[in-house]
Amino acid sequence: MKSSEPQTARRFQGVLSASPIDSAYRAAYDLIVSINVSQIFVRYPDEKDAAEVLSTYQQAREGAPSFVVARTPSPWLAVLAGDNATAPETAQLLSRALEASSLWYGLAGNALAYRLLRYELGRETERVLEPAEIYRTDASFLLPEYRDAEQILYGRLRQASIPAEYVYLFIEEVGAGSRPGRTDAAVVRQGRIESFLHRVPRRGADGVRTLFDLYKEGEQTVTEMLHLYGSFDEGRARQLFRTLEAVCGRRTLPPGWKVRYLAGSVRDPQLGRRLAATHAEGRYTFDLEPPNPESRF
C-alpha cells in the first residue's frame, strides 16, 4: 500500500521539524517518495466548535492548510490537515480555545522516529521524542537504538482510546456518507465551514497499518527509504537490523515478495556503506543497501 498523494520535503519537515534537517538534507532526498503523517485528536464532543476555532485560525494566518474535523466512536475528535502534516501549535490552540485535552503526533516512518505531545487547557503536559538523540541539534551521538516507531506510537494512541481506524489516517481517505440531514464532520477551507457526514475505511484488524514507500509488482519488491542519524556503531547497527526484522515480520506481503531498504545519512555518506557491509555479514529476510540520491522511482 502507498499514499495516493506524493509526499514532499515540506511534509517530511513538518512531521519531524524539531530534528536537525537542513536544506541540503531535504534536497538530497526530495527524489524519494516517502510516507509521513501527523494528526491531532481533541477530547471534545462537538466538531462544529472545533471547526469554528480552525476557521478563525485560517482567517488570521495566510497559507494555513485546510482541515477536516470528525467525530469518532470515542470521546476524541480527529483533526486532519490538507497536507497530512498538522502542526503541534494547532493542537495547543484547540486545547486552549476549547478548554480541552488534545494530542498531537508526528510520525516519520522513514526515520523510525516520532513525536507525541499532549496539551491540557493549552499547556503542554507530556512530550515524547523517539529516538531522543535526533532532536538534539548541538550534540554528536552514536547511531540510536532504533525501535519500531510505528508500532510503539500505535500502542500509545490506542492506550489513549483513539479508535484504530483513525490512527495513521490520511485526509484523502476520508469520504462522505449518504444519509440526508446527518452530519458528524466539517471541512474548513479558507475560513469557510462545510458540515458533512463522513466515513473512513474499515480496518480488518486492530494493528499497525502496512505502509510502504514504493513497490514494483514486476520485481516483487517493496522499497523503503530510511533516513538515519548518528555515527556508525556495530552493536547499534545489529539492533537496527533486529528492529527491521520485526517490522518486516508484522507487515503483510504477498508470497514471495521482499523488502529492500535504502538506508543511510546525507550527513555521513559512510554510514550507509558501513551498514550495508555489516548487513552482508548476517542472514536477514530483507535487503539493505546505501541510498543513491540520483535514483528516480
Quote the pLDDT of residue 207: 87
CB of 112 within 8 A of CB of 152? no
pTM over 0.75: yes
Quote the pLDDT of residue 135: 84
Sequence-distant (6+) residues with CB within 8 A of 16 are: 36, 106, 108, 111, 113, 115
Quote the pLDDT of residue 217: 66
Residues of the chain predicted below pLDDT 50 = 1-35, 295-297
Measured distance CA(155)–CA(182) in Å, rounded: 32
List the domain boundaries for the chain: 9-199, 214-289
Quote the pLDDT of residue 294: 57
Return the C-alpha cell found at 14.
Answer: 513538518
Quote the pLDDT of residue 257: 85
- Alpha helices by DSSP H, listed for 134-260, are 149-159, 234-250
Quote the pLDDT of residue 224: 86
CB of 71 within 8 A of CB of 182? no
Q: How far is CA 71 from CA 26, 131, 152, 178, in A?
A: 35, 32, 24, 16
Quote the pLDDT of residue 218: 76
Quote the pLDDT of residue 4: 33
CB of 101 within 8 A of CB of 120? yes
Quote the pLDDT of residue 293: 60
Return the C-alpha cell found at 83.
Answer: 497536507
